[in-house]
Amino acid sequence: MATKSVVAEVREITLAIELIELGARLQLLEAETSLSRDRLIKLYKELKGASPPKGMLPFSTDWFMTWQPNIHSSLFHGIYRFIDEHGGADGSQSTIHAIVKSYRLYLEHAALHGDEPVLSLTRAWTLVRYFESGMLQTNTCTRCGGRFVAHAYDLRAGYVCGLCQPPSRAGKTRKSAPRSATEHAPRIAA
């Protein structure tokens, strides 16, 4: 019996370490592991060399609707949907493991295309929770056929994504001035 509890605790610590290394906030760690707050803070300090950041988690769906965050969120959500359906995760923590796998693939995709990841692990986790609670849905672009994050109950007829019809100032930063808006955005599969 004691062996099972030790194995379970080791799994929890391993998960917490993986989440911390990916940039998880303390609130995410508390929600997804059974470790105490004090233990998580000590683990965070040991791994990062600093205290965890303070402050509230993102609480609005509006961040996911702006141009670049929408593209990155839609990419992540597409990966997550695939992993969740076909990734073979099971058990009580299947959602968090699917999020971690999906987030790692999202980071690989961004690095492969020379893009900076816009989505943090905490935002990715929040995005999945918003979908689970029915606050967000996906709309299919009438031009490219890609599925993009949208508010729940938004009109779907005639929807055009931010890649097919970018806003006039999309991608026009000093950092990305030589690149066009479509080069800067990650590729999204339908």
DSSP string, 11-75: HHHHHHHHHHHTT--HHHHHHH--S-HHHHHHHHHHHHSSPPPPSPPP--GGGGGSHHHHHHHHH
| pLDDT per residue as tens digits for the range 52-81 | 988 887 788 999 999 999 999 999 999 999
Is 141 assigned a ligand-binding role in the annotation?
yes
Is 162 assigned a ligand-binding role in the annotation?
no
Strand partners, 136: 151
Question: Which range, of 17-26, 73-82, 134-143, 147-156, averages the lowest pLDDT?
Answer: 147-156
Q: Is residue 91 over pLDDT 70?
A: no
**pLDDT computed for residue 94 by the predictor:** 84
At residue 93 the predicted structure's pLDDT band, cuts being 50, 70 and 90, is low
Q: Is residue 88 over pLDDT 70?
A: no
8 A C-beta contact, residue 61 and residue 136: yes
**pLDDT computed for residue 180 by the predictor:** 47
- pTM for the complete prediction? 0.84
| pLDDT per residue as tens digits for the range 147-176 | 999 999 888 889 999 999 998 876 665 555
Is 144 assigned a ligand-binding role in the annotation?
yes
Q: Is residue 146 over pLDDT 50?
A: yes
Is 58 assigned a ligand-binding role in the annotation?
no
The per-residue b/e assignment along 119-138, b for 16 or more CB within 10 angstroms, e otherwise, is: bbbbbbbbbbbbbeeeebbb
